[in-house]
Amino acid sequence: MAKKIFGKNVNLDLDETIKPEASALIIVDMQNDFCSKGGHYDKCGKNLDAIKEIIPNVSRLIHHARERGVLIVYIQNTQSSNGAFLSSPAIAHMLKRWKDESSLSYTLEGTWGHQIIDGMKPQEGDFIVKKHRPSAFVGTDLDMILRSMGKGTIIVTGVITEGCVESTARDGWLRDYYVVVSEDCIGSSSPELHDAQLKIMKETYHFVVPSKELLRKW
């Protein structure tokens, strides 16, 4: 039930916060380069086990969200072959720090690695937002889409927990959205960083809950 705070109706429980007509399911970077064998992460030797574990959960959540009329927004990390999106001095500094010489060659638009993984493809009526920075709100029309569609809640899923998932959740919070994180629908190649970030999320955002809680409410 909503409560009056500072003269505004404020949702304090999960039921009100994730009403289908007010919510958008955000699927961050579930792309072959991050999630699939033969993709960029796999070639870099990163452990994909935890990422693969969330795929059935995310797929199930998408299916039920569509059935209930929840807006579906896919986020696609997108780079260009000439490195234009990663060529600023500040970004170049981070690439050197990460010692990842292949960072300019992942999620290149038009490649298999850029595509959303099989079994989770967008359907008619879904939105696809291409981003060039960790946050899906930076330099994109995500905020305009959500506000135009009357959505005040974002339900964040995808990869990587401590990277693009966290950046997108935080930017949504800073833009006055209710932020719900589905904890068994986010993943990382680093269990330590995933656990640390999840702990921070639970202290920061409105709700961090397993997907079964969302399905039960819907």
Catalytic annotation, residues: 29, 131, 164
Alpha helices of the chain — where are they, by DSSP H? 14-17, 32-35, 40-43, 49-67, 89-98, 142-148, 166-174, 191-204, 211-217
Whether the CB-CB separation of 153 and 135 falls below 8 Å is answered with no
Give the whole-angstrom CA distance, residue 85 versus residue 68: 36
Residue 43 backbone phi and psi in degrees, to 5: -65, -30
Length of the chain equals: 218
Please choose, from the candidates 107, 85, 94, 204, the residue with its C-alpha nearest in 3D space to the C-alpha of residue 156: 204
DSSP structural state of residue 117:
P
